Amino acid sequence: MRLIVEDLSCVRGGRRVFEGAGFEIEAGAFAALRGPNGSGKSTLLRAMCGLVGVEDGDVRLGDASLRSGRDALQEQILYAGHLDAVKPQMTVSENLDFWRRFYSGRETTTDVLKTFSLDQIADAPAAYCSAGQKRRLGLARLAVVNRPIWLLDEPTVSLDVANVAVFADLIARHCAEGGIALVATHVDLGRAPDLEIRMEPFQSSEKTSGEADPFLAEGAFS
Amino acid sequence: MSALFWRDVALSFRIGGGAGQSLAFFVLAVSLLAFGLGGETDLLARLAPGALWVFALLACLLSLDRLFQADYEDGSLDLILLGPIPVESAVIAKTAAHWLTTGLPLALASPILAVMLNLPIEAWGALVGSLLIGTPALSLIGSIGAALTVGVRRGGLLLSLLVLPLYIPTLIFGALAVRAAALDQDVTGPFMLLVGVTLGCAALSPFASAAALRANLS
């Protein structure tokens, strides 16, 4: 298994966010996606799982690809973005259990809650969680769902040092089992990535014409 | 799919859920009409079929803006779209949960409100029946509007503008069925048309909503 990104380019709001993004990640590899703010890391991750339309290029994994067989590709991917997908009205364990059942995960949630030190607040409504607890609950989802490709966008935001280590362990275990983790992050996870992908070579200053929003055109409000 | 359905049903009974609110709106709006027109019992009886259907429709509309918006705001919608079930199935699960918690209670509560509006007792069966058959169409059509306006801040008004014109056939045939029953006429025609509207919506709207959701997120 090998995740191949070929010549991917993406246009958002009349601006080309990145172009010609291409790299390959081998099974069992932990790859770090790096680049300054606004360089398109989040857009690249969302484009790779089909949540953002791509202008050109493809993402391939075995027989599945973004252009032909998007569903088959998406079934291999587990995405975790800036938002934790936590329902404040449900308890911590209900939240995790819902995602486990929705994604037909096999593992039970009890051990995972313990791993992320959420077992003490398992029956409390998620509305009372701190930002760090919510983030841990979001990341705990990775442990209860069995999908080989992890695309994670700034997963360590609001985590303390101890929990970053727990999370790094989770990634190490996932990769040891032959999974792939692509993580956009600014921090050091305490483990050197097998592969570092930088956004800078994919940058483009060229403004796209054509379908640009007329209300955003220069002089539209003058 | 059942996980999503039961989660939505459970959420609608928690804080901020829409289950009780639509029903309460329905009861209050009908009561206001009854109080406003006072003792004009004949007039109330004549207004009742249309009024009950209009208020049921508005009550249903009220809760629609949260159908996908809540999941969009907390990031759940991304994960639902990437989930193992087709987006169309997810739409069906969410729409079914919406109907179970809004449309069904409206239909079951309607005889009590029929008393307030002096609707002849012969028409009660048609009222409950037409609401049972017609409210799924309201949830289904509404899901298209909710999917189109997901991500639009304060999109509730826009949602109403998109959805209300599409509610017209359901309203016409639903109210017609109740009126025909009140006048002791044959109700087969309006009921058949109402069933047709609902089945048509059931066939089309999951695809339309799923397409709108995909387009909105990319």
Domain borders along chain B are 2-217
- A158 compared with A106, residue with greater pLDDT: A158
By CB neighbour count within 10 A (0-12 exposed, 13-18 middle, 19+ buried), where does A83 fall? middle
Residue B124: pLDDT band with limits 50, 70, 90: very high
Average pLDDT in chain A: 88
Q: Same domain for A99 and A131?
A: yes
pLDDT digits (tens, 9 = 90+) for A76-105: 999 999 999 999 999 999 999 999 999 988
- Which of B 15-34 lie inside 8 A of A, CB atoms? 15-17
Q: Is some CB atom of chain A closer than 8 A to the CB atom of B213?
A: no
Taking CA–CA distances from B87, the nearest residue in chain A reads: A71
Pure H helices in chain A: 41-48, 70-74, 92-102, 109-115, 131-144, 161-176
Average pLDDT in chain B: 93
Task: Give residue A107's pLDDT.
Answer: 75
Asked if residue A32 is part of any domain, the answer here is yes
Judged against a pLDDT cut of 90, whether residue A189 lies above it is answered with no
Residue B39: pLDDT band with limits 50, 70, 90: confident
Residue by residue, what is the 3-state secondary structure of chain B?
A: CHHHHHHHHHHHCCCCCCHHHHHHHHHHHHHHHHHHHCCCHHHHHHHHHHHHHHHHHHHHHHCCCHHHHHHHHCCHHHHHHCCCCCHHHHHHHHHHHHHHHHHHHHHHHHHHHHHHCCCCHHHHHHHHHHHHHHHHHHHHHHHHHHHHCCCCCCCHHHHHHHHHHHHHHHHHHHHHHHHHHHCCCCCHHHHHHHHHHHHHHHHHHHHHHHHHHHHHHC
Task: Give residue B58's pLDDT.
Answer: 94
Percent of chain A with pLDDT over 90: 58
Q: Same domain for A171 and A197?
A: yes
Q: Same domain for A116 and A203?
A: no
Q: Same domain for A14 and A44?
A: yes
pLDDT digits (tens, 9 = 90+) for B158-171: 999 999 999 999 99
Q: What is the CATH number of the domain that holds A158?
A: 3.40.50.300
Cβ–Cβ below 8 Å for A90 and B14? yes
Task: Give residue B188's pLDDT.
Answer: 94
Domain count, chain A: 2
Judged against a pLDDT cut of 70, whether residue A207 lies above it is answered with no
Asked if residue A212 is part of any domain, the answer here is yes
Q: Is some CB atom of chain A closer than 8 A to the CB atom of B11?
A: yes
Cβ–Cβ below 8 Å for A99 and B79? yes
Residue range A59-65: mean pLDDT, rounded = 90
Q: Same domain for A179 and A121?
A: no
Number of residues written out for chain B: 218
Cβ–Cβ below 8 Å for A85 and B78? yes
Residue A221: pLDDT band with limits 50, 70, 90: low
Nearest to B4 among A52, A102, A104 (CB): A102
By CB neighbour count within 10 A (0-12 exposed, 13-18 middle, 19+ buried), where does A176 fall? exposed
User: Range with the lowest mean pLDDT among A8-12, A203-207, B173-177?
Assistant: A203-207
Asked if residue A198 is part of any domain, the answer here is yes
Residue range B26-51: mean pLDDT, rounded = 91
Q: Same domain for A125 and A172?
A: no
Task: Give residue B152's pLDDT.
Answer: 85
Nearest to B74 among A52, A78, A85 (CB): A85
Asked if residue A221 is part of any domain, the answer here is no
Nearest to A77 among B3, B82, B217 (CB): B82
- Using CA atoms, how far apart are residues B46 and B41, in angstroms rounded to an integer? 9
A chain contacts of residue B87, beta-carbon cutoff 8 Å: none
Residue range A157-162: mean pLDDT, rounded = 90
CA angle A50, A53, A55 (to 5 degrees): 125
A chain contacts of residue B213, beta-carbon cutoff 8 Å: none
Task: Report the largest interatomic distance among the alpha carbons of chain A, rounded to a whole angstrom.
Answer: 60
Cβ–Cβ below 8 Å for B82 and A52? no
B chain contacts of residue A48, beta-carbon cutoff 8 Å: none
Q: Same domain for A98 and A126?
A: yes
Asked if residue A130 is part of any domain, the answer here is yes
Judged against a pLDDT cut of 60, whether residue A57 lies above it is answered with yes
Q: pTM for the complete prediction? A: 0.90
Domain with A98, as residue range(s), is 84-141
Judged against a pLDDT cut of 90, whether residue B209 lies above it is answered with yes
Q: Same domain for A55 and A109?
A: no
- B17 compared with A63, residue with greater pLDDT: A63
Residue B172: pLDDT band with limits 50, 70, 90: very high
A chain contacts of residue B218, beta-carbon cutoff 8 Å: 50-53
Q: Same domain for A7 and A57?
A: yes
User: Number of CB pairs < 8 Å for A and B?
Assistant: 63
